Homo-oligomer: A and B are copies of this chain.
Amino acid sequence: MVFTETGTEIALHAGTSCSSGTCGAGIAQNPVQSLTPEDQRMLAAFRPETVEAAVKKTIETYKLFSYTDKILVACSGGKDSTVILHMLKKFGYAIEAITVNAHIGCYTDENLRNLREMCAKIDVKLHEISFRKEFGKSLCYIQSILKAKGYDYKNCHTCGVLRRYLLNKYSKPLHPDVIVTGHNLDDEAQAVMMNLFRGNLQVCARIGPKTGMVHDSKTDHNSATKKKFVQRVKPLYFVRESDVVKYSKLHNFPVYYGECPCSSDTYRREMKDMFKSFGEQRDEVKEHIIKSFISISEPLKAHFMQAEGGAIQECLICGEPSSKDICNTCALLAKLRDNKIIKS
């Protein structure tokens, strides 16, 4: 992707050709034939019902949602959200899907095609939101503008902030009871480590499959801001990424398994490499981290509430937990508004 001096965007990597060359040649026309001998060996011993049982247990134990709730599944077209979309439909929940297209060349084009195919196949309504339709620009272009203005935000940060912003904006009129995201055990263990290594242990106190603005009478001192948000839940919280991949491959879901070509600059990648370095112990290590922190989340919450004078410090604008008055997300949104990239 390049942009001219006058700011006219030329989306060189739209369609199937990609300037980065990192997002692969797309999924096979017949996914069954794309299973490698290694995939077949891996899948031979895999029991999908074990993963489904773990997801059901998480939904029940943490009371994530019920059969009378309207559930909106935030989908990227990737393996995680596709797997949870399929499972929730299979379990009989009332679901709709919502996706935000950041226009990252053929990577997001392919993901969107896959998601449309999946939703059509299992008869789930899909709500599509687009960076280009909303902002008139793709993620890469927005990043270029920010960089030219002297703001050096990482791709994943800007992308995440804008996706959450749009997800929140467009989910509200749909009145869902919860938004489901596809975060798995690996994502969460990486997030805990990132926060621990950065000294943000306060954030780790709020981990668990039920995040976002949960009503809590003890901390609900700014319920006005909290009502702006729909509660987010993570039914794949205790499912290993490797099991998500197996589940997806076993079902031949239309999924591209490569990573986002823009994610090369993230701390999260270092966390992934760190866990990989533990070899066969890596899954056990991730489970220990998550279970350890969940086991101490209550005393940690109480501790940080006391330290902060009765409540965990939250962003004055959005009410999310934050170590500063204005969280990083709201700070970036303010900069994007100042620079007329977003309007409201």
Contact = CB atoms under 8 A, between A and B. Distances in A.
Contact of A295 (B201, B274, B285, B287): B201
A300 B296 contact: yes
A197 interface: yes
Contacts of A274: 274, 277
A92 interface: no
Contacts of A287: 199
Identical copies in the complex: 2
Contacts of A300: 296, 299
Nearest to A274: B274
Nearest to A286: B197
B270 A277 contact: yes
Contact of A196 (B198, B277, B288, B299): B288
Interface in A164-219: 196-199, 201
Contacts of A292: 196, 199, 201
Contacts of A54: none
A40 B248 CA distance: 57
Given A270-B278, A274-B274, A277-B274, A199 B288 contact: yes
A70 interface: no
Contacts of A199: 287-288, 291-292
A163 interface: no
A332 to B, nearest CB: 22
Given A270-B277, A273-B277, A274-B277, A196 B289 contact: yes
Interface in A22-77: none
A302 interface: yes
Interface residues of A, number: 25
Contacts of A288: 196-199
Contacts of A285: 197-198
A137 interface: no
Contacts of A298: 303
Contacts of A296: 201, 296, 299-300, 303
Nearest to A201: B292
Contacts of A303: 296, 298-299
A278 to B, nearest CB: 7
9 contacts: A196-B288, A197-B288, A198-B288, A199-B292, A201-B292, A273-B277, A296-B303, A299-B302, A299-B303
Interface of A: 196-199, 201, 270, 273-274, 277-278, 281, 285, 287-289, 291-293, 295-296, 298-300, 302-303
Given A201-B292, A273-B277, 15 more contacts: A196-B288, A197-B288, A198-B285, A198-B288, A199-B288, A199-B291, A201-B295, A201-B296, A270-B278, A274-B274, A274-B277, A296-B303, A298-B303, A299-B299, A299-B302
